Amino acid sequence: MIEMGDFKLLYAASCILLGLVILAPTVALVVRLPEGERFSELYVLGPGHMAEGYPFNVSVNSVYRVFLGVGNHMGGLEDYVVYVKFRNQTESLHGDVDESLFEYRVALRDSDVWEREVSFSFSERERALVVDGYSVAVEKIVAWNNQTSGFYCQLLFELWHFDGVSAFEYHNRFIGLWLNVSVPT
């Protein structure tokens, strides 16, 4: 037979358990469990929309295409800028924003991905790099590389992230496509 003290203890435990079950959805809205790693992604795919077939041996007045993408996995709305830069073998990898030739600005919600086809070519007549139809004069000296017997330069894509206050800052994501420009036209 259950005594009155045991019955009160069982009744109190049942009430507490029922209260926890009823309050669980509300507590889940307030208490956040640790989430996975937050990160941004930057990628370039070749013309076949695969991680292969990137342009390498390039010639003047020929158009080349790649797919540029940015993914947001930061947990909220994020603003990004992808700066397109052109560098030779002697220049530092990451420089100032002033060195950018072209830029793409994009705002992404969490888990969204932005992608676009980027075309580029070298115009002999204008002595310029043409990105998505926009011509930008390039005053770079590309030196002969004795080890690889060629002239090499790099088309660089850098991801910059809005700091949430007033400016974009470098987000430690970049992709560079090395280009052999010693191919005869």
In a domain, 45, yes or no: yes
Whole-number pLDDT of residue 144: 73
Q: Are 49 and 68 in contact (CB under 8 A)?
A: no
Q: Could you tell me the pTM of the whole model?
A: 0.75
In sequence order, the 6+-apart residues with CB closer than 8 A to the CB of 62 are 121, 122
In a domain, 126, yes or no: yes
Is the pLDDT at 100 greater than 90, yes or no?
Answer: no
Half-sphere exposure of 102 (CA within 13 A, CB side): 20
Domains of the chain: total: 2
Max Cα distance, the chain (Å): 102
Q: What is the pLDDT of residues 132-175, one digit of tens each?
A: 988 888 777 677 777 777 788 889 999 998 888 888 888 888 99
Closest CA to 101 of 158, 30, 35, 164: 158
Q: What is the pLDDT of residues 5-43, one digit of tens each?
A: 777 888 888 888 888 888 778 777 777 766 778 899 999
Residues 63 and 153 reside in one and the same domain: yes
CATH number for the domain spanning 173: value is 2.60.40.10
Range of the domain at 164: 39-180
| Alpha carbon distance, N-terminus to C-terminus of the chain | 100
Residues 6 and 65 reside in one and the same domain: no
Residue with token string 């017997």: 149
Q: Are 157 and 42 in contact (CB under 8 A)?
A: yes
Residues 119 and 158 reside in one and the same domain: yes
In a domain, 185, yes or no: no
